[in-house]
Amino acid sequence: MAKRKPSPALRAFGAEVRRLREDVGITRTELANRLSVTPSYVSQVESGNTRCRKDFAQRLDQALGTGEQLTTVWTKHLRAAAYPKFFANYSEAEATADLLRAYEATFVPGLFQTKEYAQALLPSEAAVERRLLRQQILSRETPPRLIVVMDESVLVRDVGGPEVMRGQCEHLLKVSQQKNVTLQIAPIAYYRGISGSFNIATQPTREELVYLETSPGGITSDEPQDILHVIGAFAELQARSMSVGDTSEFIRKAIDRWTM
């Protein structure tokens, strides 16, 4: 995975975040839980690989009990600093994309989750509300095109109990019928070059960003070789997945399964 070279301003801010976190004596994961973000996002901030917003610096101060230290450092180093070549925060790219492609190996994609399903997965109500807020892109006047491949194990993995799973499957069936959504189920199998979930956001300018899930959280990249690898893997997944019609039938059977 190719890495960006952080700017001096981003490195300086990230180093201060790391120093203050270590002074408080908490891990990145603990800080991420306090902020309702992924540990990988905290890691990207600390390493200088993303330019956070001022309100995130304020939340960091609150989470670490550091007064306005990080807000002041943000103002000093990042007010005039440019963002990286492209969005380092995938959620920002998702919100402005006109084409979204995703492969989900473990859970229902965030954009398709019901509130109850999200509540079973996420650590706080604030995190649930943020996830539901992301879903508003599906109801805007010109929604993005969504092409999603989901591993068949997702619909048999118990998240929140039978009632939650039944409601989630019913919602998936409804969402899959939207004209801007294509949903396919990938049979459980080995797919070369794929080791976990990923997302691809394509902007109206044709710029693209990929997000790859990892055990600690996730990695974003706009490097051409990373994008080409993921797009190729996605094409193979689509070719080996169930048709749209067979996918709908599979979801209906899942609904029946969770009704018993």
- Is 143 found in the same domain as 38? no
Q: What is the pLDDT of residue 1?
A: 40
For range 166-182, the mean pLDDT: 96
Query: Is pLDDT above 50 for 224?
Result: yes
Provide the pLDDT confidence category of residue 91 given band limits of 50, 70 and 90: confident
- Is 71 found in the same domain as 191? no
Query: Is pLDDT above 50 for 41?
Result: yes
> What pLDDT digit, counting tens, does each position of 135-158 carry?
988 888 889 999 999 999 999 999
- With respect to residue 82, please indicate whether it lies within any of the assigned structural domains: no
- Is 128 found in the same domain as 66? no
Provide the pLDDT confidence category of residue 5 given band limits of 50, 70 and 90: low
- Is 241 found in the same domain as 212? yes
Query: Is pLDDT above 80 for 115?
Result: yes
What is the span of the domain harbouring residue 35? 8-77
For range 28-32, the mean pLDDT: 91
- Is 132 found in the same domain as 214? yes
Distance separating alpha carbons of residues 168 and 255, to the nearest angstrom? 9
- With respect to residue 85, please indicate whether it lies within any of the assigned structural domains: no
Q: How many CB atoms lie within 10 A of CB 217?
A: 17
- Which of 77, 110, 138 terminates a domain? The answer is 77
Query: Is pLDDT above 50 for 85?
Result: no
pTM to 2 decimal places: 0.67
Beta bridge partners of 221: 210
Q: What is the pLDDT of residue 178?
A: 94
- Is 236 found in the same domain as 124? yes
- Is 123 found in the same domain as 71? no
Q: Which residues neighbour 12 within 8 Å (Cβ) at sequence distance 6 or greater? A: 48, 73, 77
- Is 253 found in the same domain as 160? yes
Query: Is pLDDT above 60 for 74?
Result: yes
Distance separating alpha carbons of residues 101 and 159, to the nearest angstrom? 23
Q: What's 54's domain CATH number?
A: 1.10.260.40
Count up the domains in the chain and report the number: 2
